[in-house]
Amino acid sequence: MKGFSQFLRAAALLCLCTAAVHAGVVRPAPDFKLDGIPKTLHSLRGQPVVLIIAQKMRLKEFKKELFLLGPMYPRFSEQKVVFVAAIEHGPTDIHSNIPFANAANPSQVAADYGVNGRFAIAVIGVDGNLDLITARPISAARVRDMIINNYETQASSRAIPGL
């Protein structure tokens, strides 16, 4: 009987450890390729990524987001944040102090991220977790907070003691 209870404890501990390992990325961000360079979202793991999806660059939501993010770009640069734009129609040469990479297949990126509207912004953590996606422009401070307080950081503060 003693051996059986030890087995059950070991099995329960194994289950908890397995769950903790798989809990690292709760909502994996869909992978995509970058246009003109041999990189994918997966190859950027270890760096936070801000993805802006828009039907056109002329949208007021897109312009507002650039306006909100621009002043804080130096801080984002210090954190090695990568900015990616998935513009579905029209030119993709973005005039901003923020250097943007372009997604190779913007319509597919929009579909993979479940974007049915005109605009969305997503924040992808260093662990590849989709930490935020919203259809409204958000402040640069909110983006920065999402990067700093990503799931990986939160998970380490909630770690199960003794494992």
pLDDT in the model for residue 92: 80
pLDDT in the model for residue 3: 52
pLDDT in the model for residue 91: 80
Mean of pLDDT over the chain? 83
The rounded distance, in Å, linking the Cα atoms of 76 and 100 is 13
| CB-facing half-sphere around the CA of 133: CA atoms within 13 A | 21
Per-residue confidence band for 24, with pLDDT thresholds at 50, 70 and 90: low
* Pair of tokens at residue 163: 């494992």
Cβ contacts of 139 within 8 Å, gap of 6 or more: 68
Residue 49 scores a pLDDT above 80: yes
| CB-facing half-sphere around the CA of 111: CA atoms within 13 A | 4
Cβ contacts of 121 within 8 Å, gap of 6 or more: 50, 51, 52, 53, 65, 132, 133, 134, 137, 138, 143
The rounded distance, in Å, linking the Cα atoms of 131 and 123 is 6
Residue 13 scores a pLDDT above 50: no
Report which of residues 21 and 120 the model is more confident about: 120
Handedness of CA 104, 105, 108, 114 (dihedral sign): positive
DSSP string, 58-103: T-HHHHHHHHHHGGGHHHHHHTT-EEEEEE-SS-----SSS-EEEB
Mean pLDDT lowest for which of 8-12, 27-31, 65-69, 136-140?
8-12
Q: 69-112 pLDDT, tens per residue?
A: 999 999 999 999 999 999 999 888 898 999 999 999 999 999 99
- Model-level pTM greater than 0.85? no
Residue 16 scores a pLDDT above 50: no
